[in-house]
Chains A and B, each alone.
Chain A
Amino acid sequence: MLDPELVLAASVQPRYDYSDPVKVRLRVAKLSAALRARGYWSAEEQAVSCEDLSVARVDGTSFAVRIYRPNGISYPAPAIVFFHGGGFMVGDLDFEHGRCLKWAASTPSVVISCDYRLSPENRYPAASDDCYACLVWAAHRANDFGIDTSRIAVAGSSCGGGLAAATALRTRDEGGPTIRCQILIYPVLDDQMQTGSMMAFVDTPGWDRKSTAHMWAHYLPEGRIESVPPYAAPARANDLSGLPRTYIMTAEMDPLRDEGLTYGSRLLQAGVPTEIHNFSGAFHAFDTVGYSRLGKRVLDEQISAFQRAFY
């Protein structure tokens, strides 16, 4: 049963058809841009300075990042490398601008939001490569931005949570920058779509099984592949030991619930300090519904998870 505070929000969530991801992308971008342009975040923007920069890839192309620096923070400061949601198909630097502003001001920390490449135009490993490159870049440029390299977190929501988990696996495997913690908000982790929640939630607000099927069809490489790599779907990783301390948040009525809970449980079994919190009566991305007491409680808990790792 839905939390009473979320009934209204659930009834008016947009229902997107991800069989045409470009159409959804344009619509979502229009909303994000309209909100930002019309001052929807102006109160939060007073407390944080934002700067868009370009990060070069090895092949000479580049991707954008937005750096959030809260007023009055003392340097060197902790940093959060953040990957937005949107099913690998949708989203840009404006999409989770509100979340980044709140996290930057409240933790406080420098937030670096990554405008990674989207599918289906750019399938795996494009997004995953950009996210890892963003972490490496942030650590490399730490002095320029006043970042304390011993306190860098990776975080993301939905597919961004999966990208954060993949980034943590890769930096462990390749001996890349040290990650202090990973914060995974209702993460996308498992392409196999066999969990109980994935079977049950075929038509739920925020996200459902059908959207998940479109997402993987658009994100994974075309044609038959021998096996799906862990950096595409972190649930495929055999060994989760040696990963950074973890906070995982899931929502009860979210098809992604069980893959998040299972990943958290496996992390614990692998000896990784892990906190798992499933919110009952909640749907996917319910924490973006700003007015609810529940939304406030969730944000406070996310802030607290960063603070416990950073300070």
Chain B
Amino acid sequence: MGHLTEKEKLMAAIWASVLGQAIRSPGADFFALGGSSLLAMQIAAEASNKFGKPVSVADVLMSSSLRDLVSAIELDT
């Protein structure tokens, strides 16, 4: 999957703090890492702050990967 972009690194740090484990791949899968609806909400709230755009719990739950979530946020202007 290659390296993380700057934006993906920002998101990876959020995931790492919420999920309690290091995130190194842009293909990281929220559900495979033990994600739940509560953790998705925490990620959405933190991402809204850090990215300066509204990120909903639905955005997090429907993304297939870290990269997918970041592109969804970047596309949704």
Distance in angstroms from A91 CB to nearest chain B CB is 14
Contact across chains for A290 and B37 when beta carbons are under 8 A apart: yes
Distance in angstroms from A22 CB to nearest chain B CB is 17
Closest to B60 in A: A12
Closest to B63 in A: A34
Q: Which residue from B31, B41, B48, B59 sits with its C-beta under 8 Å from A9?
A: B41
A154 CA / B55 CA spacing, docked (Å): 35
Show the binding face of B for A, using Cβ within 8 Å: 31, 36-38, 41-42, 44-45, 48, 54-59, 61-62, 64
Q: Which residues of A contact B31 (CB under 8 A)?
A: 38-40
Contact across chains for A12 and B38 when beta carbons are under 8 A apart: no
Show the binding face of A for B, using Cβ within 8 Å: 8-9, 11-15, 27-28, 30-31, 34-35, 38-40, 289-291
Given contacts A290-B37, A291-B36, contact A12 B56 (CB under 8 A): yes
Given contacts A12-B56, A291-B36, contact A34 B45 (CB under 8 A): no
Main DSSP-derived SS at the B contact region: helix
Contact across chains for B56 and A14 when beta carbons are under 8 A apart: yes
Distance in angstroms from A3 CB to nearest chain B CB is 15
Q: Which residues of B contact A35 (CB under 8 A)?
A: 61-62
Given contacts A39-B31, A291-B37, contact A14 B45 (CB under 8 A): no
Contact across chains for B57 and A13 when beta carbons are under 8 A apart: yes
Contact across chains for A15 and B61 when beta carbons are under 8 A apart: no
Q: Which residues of A contact B41 (CB under 8 A)?
A: 8-9, 12
Contact across chains for A31 and B54 when beta carbons are under 8 A apart: no
Q: Which residues of A contact B38 (CB under 8 A)?
A: 291
Q: Which residue from B36, B45, B58 sits with its C-beta under 8 Å from A31?
A: B58
Distance in angstroms from B48 CB to nearest chain A CB is 7
Q: Which residue from B36, B45, B62, B64 sits with its C-beta under 8 Å from A12?
A: B45
Q: Which residues of B contact A39 (CB under 8 A)?
A: 31
A39 CA / B55 CA spacing, docked (Å): 23
Q: Can you offer 8 A-B residue contacts whose CB atoms are under 8 A? A: A9-B57, A11-B48, A12-B44, A12-B48, A12-B57, A30-B62, A40-B31, A291-B36
Contact across chains for B57 and A14 when beta carbons are under 8 A apart: yes
Contact across chains for B62 and A34 when beta carbons are under 8 A apart: yes
Q: Which residues of A contact B57 (CB under 8 A)?
A: 9, 12-14
Contact across chains for B56 and A13 when beta carbons are under 8 A apart: yes
Distance in angstroms from A10 CB to nearest chain B CB is 10
Q: Which residue from B42, B54, B59 sits with its C-beta under 8 Å from A8?
A: B42
Contact across chains for B61 and A8 when beta carbons are under 8 A apart: no
Given contacts A30-B62, A34-B62, A34-B64, contact A12 B37 (CB under 8 A): no
Distance in angstroms from B59 CB to nearest chain A CB is 7
A31 CA / B38 CA spacing, docked (Å): 16
Given contacts A11-B45, A13-B57, A39-B31, contact A31 B62 (CB under 8 A): yes
Contact across chains for A289 and B62 when beta carbons are under 8 A apart: no
A289 CA / B40 CA spacing, docked (Å): 11
Closest to B48 in A: A12
A232 CA / B60 CA spacing, docked (Å): 35
A291 CA / B56 CA spacing, docked (Å): 17
Contact across chains for B62 and A15 when beta carbons are under 8 A apart: no
Q: Which residues of B contact A15 (CB under 8 A)?
A: 54, 56
A229 CA / B66 CA spacing, docked (Å): 49
Q: Which residues of B contact A11 (CB under 8 A)?
A: 45, 48
Q: Which residue from B36, B37, B56, B61 sits with its C-beta under 8 Å from A34?
A: B61
A13 CA / B61 CA spacing, docked (Å): 12
Distance in angstroms from B52 CB to nearest chain A CB is 15
A126 CA / B56 CA spacing, docked (Å): 32
